[in-house]
A and B are shown apart, each in its own frame.
Chain A
Amino acid sequence: MIYNVTIDETEHRVELDRAAEGWRCQLDGHAVPLDAVLAQPDVLSILIEGRAYEIRREQAGADLTIWVGDHAHAAEVRDPRSLRERRQRADHDKGARQLVAPMPGKVIRFLLEENSRVEAGQGVVVVEAMKMQNEIKSPKAGVVLKLSVAEGAAVNAGDVLAIVE
């Protein structure tokens, strides 16, 4: 099995084969002597030449995080044979970006109007949750295309608040 894996924005190619004596593994063309045991559904123990790693998987919606000890790595795994995934990838970075609510809460106010210019990192909308007001910032520079909810509206995590292009 071959996987294209992105870890913290760096691409890796991982080849895995189950052999009689365990896993055969190649990382970016180099053989890695690998001993792996699934300790719990989301916990792996990996031994590489005696070095022990405790690894946990955290899946939050579409976001996959691989924890190696206390280091968190943003991960994405693709099977290059899958056409669907290849197509999705091609569309990934183009065009409009959505600002989504990171947690359930209430929209307090918008800081910008539709069609106004916005810098990357500039606050667009204020959401209140757990008695704290938080600014949701634009992921890119551009123009605020649309404010998708009304001030005062209750929103859930993942709801689209605004669109920036």
Chain B
Amino acid sequence: MEDGYLFILLTLDATLRVSTPLIFCAMAGLFSERSGIIDISLEGKMLSGAFVAASVAAVTGSAWLAMLAAVGVAAGLAALHGFACITHKGNQVVSGVAINILASGLTVVLGIAWFHQGGQTPGLPSSARFMPIEFPFAEPVSVIPMLGPFYKELLSGHNLLVYLAFMVVPLTWWVVFRTRFGLRLRAVGENPTAVDTAGISVTWLRYRAVLICGLLTGLAGTYLAIGQNAGFVRDMTAGQGYIALAALIFGKWRPFSALGACLIFGLLDAIAIRLQGVHVAGIGEVPVQLIQALPYILTVVLLAGFIGKAVAPKAIGMPYLKER
């Protein structure tokens, strides 16, 4: 019983850790897509952020500088996406694909040119990373049955960025649904002409949305490179940007629903890792690949309209042409 409880707690603990980048990216995508800009380049921006964070941390030894640089570069890529999609009215999907491919190539090319370690960055000492924060009294409290381990294992002992990710969700909700900027943001994703008629610049609104998106993906990358891990490895995002995109769609472009989807997908991942090679009576060896593919399969099923209906912002993917 005791063991089973601890197993569940540790699985949930792992869930929080793997969900964090998904949450950052899903919120990032939410800002962009709510403003009408499709963003499939979450993956690429997160990867670039991770690479820059690890590089700067390795050179300067400062986790905060690393975060700043990562956010800056990710926002730069977001601005490029905006430049192509908003200013030049290019195809948003094509631009996103370009950024993803560019990031996957450039991180390796620069990594090898700068650090000569086969695309990795040097291993980082604890001082250059965001380390787990132990909550006060975690040790003495842990003797209390049920609640004690819950406090020690699940709530305490994550790094700053994990807590930040969970704070970003209500913040996103507040900004999108309770501020004037949020109202306009949603309006520009549904009917940009109306926003334009009201005398508000569609271009500037969308640029701001895209830049917020870049900022958040930068945080996701920072977490991957100097929070969860101690350095950059090539292609370390491994499709998580796409899973976040799936979570965003799964959550129907709403912050708390998207958070729920991120946690479900994170849990699936955590379970898949724990079940690797485990034999379950009656089923035999669990096909881990099936569990790993579940987020993608579920999203397709949702998109097909078999479980509820995911309706995207109306003006998504369409460049806004101002009539003259």
A and B physically associate:
no
